[in-house]
Structure 1
Amino acid sequence: MDKNNPSIAVLGAGVVGMTVARILQDRLRNVNVTVLADKFQEDTVSAVAAGIFRPGTSFKGATKEITKQWINDSWYYWQHILNTSEAPQAGVMALSTYIFSKNNYHVTRNHLIEDLVPSYRPVDANELKLCGEGWKHGSYFSTVKIGCERYLPWAERIFMEKGGKIVQKKIKNFTSLPQKFDLVFNCTGMGAKYLCNDYDLVPMRGQVIKARAPWLKTAFYGDYDTYIIPGHDGIATLGGVRQYDSYNMEVCKHDAAAIFERCCELLPSLKKAEIVSHKVGLRPHRVPVRVEPELIDGVKVVHCYGHGGYGVMCSPGTGLQAVKIGVDLMKSNLKNKL
């Protein structure tokens, strides 16, 4: 290894891979980073996601402390971008959010972010009527949204301006890399199931509707995985479904009809919205999310995958830990560390 100019590969160009690549460039000097992937920008699962910062309670690291650290680090990472002039280009925007339930008070609470975001409070009686009658419980919170349709091109541009290299190539195993790297970050999402023979990694199928609703400035959640999240250029994301262990990448007309019906019931003004597209993505669900080192056929690898539906919001936190692990590996003997 050239200690002065280490050569590092990042496998995967979704939000996790591109964020890890950015962190590497920010944390290390004179590092040569190459991103290798078969899909980029709008072709990645990240581009389907609404990208709102609202981690679910199923998002877990090895310990509660690690999970909380990932979430906190991610929040401050996105806040840093939000407070710069680059925020619009990066797709990061502040967002007010309501979550309502007709049956369960606990679903309107989120212990992972209640002490983190600027505001998280119960709604009052008038706010319960914002989305019609029958809502018995609700919370309001302020958060951020990361639109990957902007963030991924922005991250790629900055990465390349700093000397990063991008190669379009599907990596079938760690010995098929086009050159010898001092360190490899595995950020391949569902691809890790085959790359690592990881049977703990399960697809969580999601389907959403992209609708033109420029009047929408606030996000809304309701029962039965119903959500309406505004975005850039007036395009809102309407969802959704969570279908465990489904590999179906086709748009299901029945899912689409159910999503639209639930969203219009939650917010009737959506009936006049123009439907722009229907999107399907397979969320890489794993418990816990895998962030750890491994020596594979002589290749030093740091895994960072399995974020499920929370990769966009929590990629900085897991990425920061993965990079720290990688830096430690380059300073020590991997065999002694594992």
Structure 2
Amino acid sequence: MAEDRSGDVIVVGSGVIGLTTALVLAESGSRVRIWAREPAERTTSAVAGALWWPYGIRPKTLARAWALRSLTVYEELAERPEETGVRMVEGVLGGTRLDEQGAWAAARLPGLRASTAEEYAGEGLWARLPLIDMPVHLGWLRERFLRAGGTFVTRTVTDLAEARAAAPVVVNCTGLGARALVPDPAVRPVRGQLVIVENPGLRTWLVSADAATGTTTYLFPQPDRLVLGGTAEDDEWALTPDPAVAAWIVERCALLRPEVAGARVLDHRVGLRPSRDAVRLEREVRPGGGVLVHNYGHGGAGVTVAWGCAREASELARG
């Protein structure tokens, strides 16, 4: 008697998009395997600053819906921060005005208001948003996926046909890898560098966008460290931290929060955001049978839309 493979799904990719998608599929009853060449803690997702906010991602209408769906999940996960890595934290989005946001913001984000001069020297928004400790969160996603019956296979995929030959449904969550694997030249790297320092006592986060220079500076307090950023270098593939860039990041952050100057540096990190003009989230029925769902191209907003995209990808995978 032939083995029933109708419920089998292979998710290719182990970043936050791949893990969340695999988890949603596994908890919906599918038999799910993740194929990835490296564990989640070695992906770009592990480097993410990981503040929830729908920015820099298209198509805007769909991205907002995915983000709001994800927000609901993060609010629930924030009730168990030590376990899930998700906390609701207050801070300022500098360079942003309340009247620039749609009605969704005031309706969905209680307490959203213009920041005061003491909070930020310029126009900004005070908000309480999910801030995710990515190493903890990725570990939690993986464990929940395994508890749901999923399996993780360490495997370098050089052709999606390998996965299609092994399961009737394949979900492509390869991020920047989709550039070569699909192939999709519309996927491009945007290099981001971070500096991790000891937290001198900051309890709120801060994001400051400078339209004149095109730079965004941010400070994200995590339980055991302070994340300083950042950079956004288009089409740059280098993964080695640049000491001059690191010094520039610390200098910019210290201008916003002087207590950061002199904080002991713990680590330097670099990640390549998988940028695309628009997220590709769609279903293909392959010639000869089988379903291929694409879920990639989220840029720096993967954490923001992860759960919304995962649930839509799951629906597409199950038809």
What TM-score, normalized by structure 2, do the two folds share? 0.91
Q: Please give the residue correspondences for 1:207-218 in structure 2 after superposition, counting only pairs within 5 Å.
A: 207-213=193-199, 215-218=201-204
| Structure 1 position 44 matched with structure 2 position 30 | no
Q: From the superposition, tell whether residues 113 and 244 of structure 1 become closer, same or farther in structure 2 (CA, over 3 Å).
A: farther
Quick one: distance in 1 between partners of 2:157 and 2:51?
A: 30
1:325 to 285, 308, 316: 316
Q: Secondary structure at the match of 1:204?
A: strand
Summarize the alignment of residues 197-216 of structure 1 with structure 2, pairs less than 5 Å apart: 197-213=183-199, 215-216=201-202
- The 5 Å alignment of 1:105-254 reads 106=97, 110-111=101-102, 113-128=105-120, 135-177=121-163, 180-213=166-199, 215-222=201-208, 223=210, 224-233=215-224, 235-254=225-244
Q: 2:283 aligns with which of 256, 275, 293?
A: 293
Of 291-300 and 243-252, more deviation after overlay is shown by 291-300
Instruction: Verify the 8 A CA contact 2:97 2:124 in the aligned structure 1.
Output: no
- 1:77 & 1:190 partners in 2: Cα distance? 26
Post-superposition Cα deviations, 1:207-237, rounded to whole Å, max 9, x if no partner, equal 011111062210012233010011122x111
Q: Which of the numbers 268, 286, 289 marks the counterpart of 2:258?
A: 268
* Aligned residue number for residue 312 of structure 1: 303
- Alpha-carbon contact 1:108-1:138 (below 8 Å) kept: no
Distance verdict in 2 for CA 1:114–1:258, change over 3 Å: farther
Quick one: structure 1 residues 253 and 125, their matched pair in 2 at CA, closer, same or farther if it must change by over 3 Å? closer
Quick one: which of 59, 72, 77 aligns to 2:73? 77
User: 2-side partners of 1:291 and 1:54: how far apart?
Assistant: 19
Q: Is the 8 A contact 2:6 2:168 kept in 1?
A: no
Q: Distance between the aligned counterparts of 2:73 and 2:110, measured in 1?
A: 15
Describe the shift of the 1:2–1:216 C-alpha distance in structure 2 as closer, same or farther (beyond 3 A).
Answer: farther
SS in 2 for 1:225: strand
- Comparing 319-328 with 106-115, which one deviates more in the overlay? 106-115
- Aligned with residue 247 of structure 2, among 257, 264, 270: 257
Instruction: Specify the SS of the correspondent of 1:177.
Output: helix
Deviations 1:101-152 (A, max 9, x none): 4xxx559954474442222111233334xxxxxx232221110112220011
Give the Cα–Cα distance (whole angstroms) in 2 for the partners of residues 107 and 194 of structure 1. Answer: 41
In structure 1, runs of 5+ residues without a counterpart are 129-134, 329-338
Query: What percentage of aligned pairs have identical amino acids?
Result: 29
Distance 2:8 2:158 in 1: 20
Q: Is the 8 A contact 2:16 2:303 kept in 1?
A: yes
Q: Is the 8 A contact 1:55 1:310 kept in 2?
A: yes
Question: Per the alignment, in what secondary structure is the counterpart of residue 127 of structure 1?
Answer: coil
Letter paired with 2:175: G
Q: Say whether residues 1:92 and 2:86 are aligned partners.
A: yes
- Decide whether the 8 Å contact of 1:109 with 1:139 is kept in 2: no
In the alignment, the residues of structure 1 paired with residue 286 and residue 271 of structure 2 have an alpha-carbon distance, to the nearest angstrom, of 29
TM-score of the superposed pair, with normalisation by structure 1 = 0.86
Contact 1:108–1:137 (CA under 8 A) maintained in structure 2: no
Query: CA 1:277 to 1:125, structure 2 compared with 1: closer, same or farther past 3 Å?
Result: closer
Q: What RMSD in Å do the two structures reach over aligned CA positions?
A: 2.2
Aligned-pair CA distance for 1:100? 2.9
The change in CA–CA distance for 1:139 and 1:307 in structure 2 (over 3 A counts) is: same
- 1:50, CA displacement in angstroms? 1.1
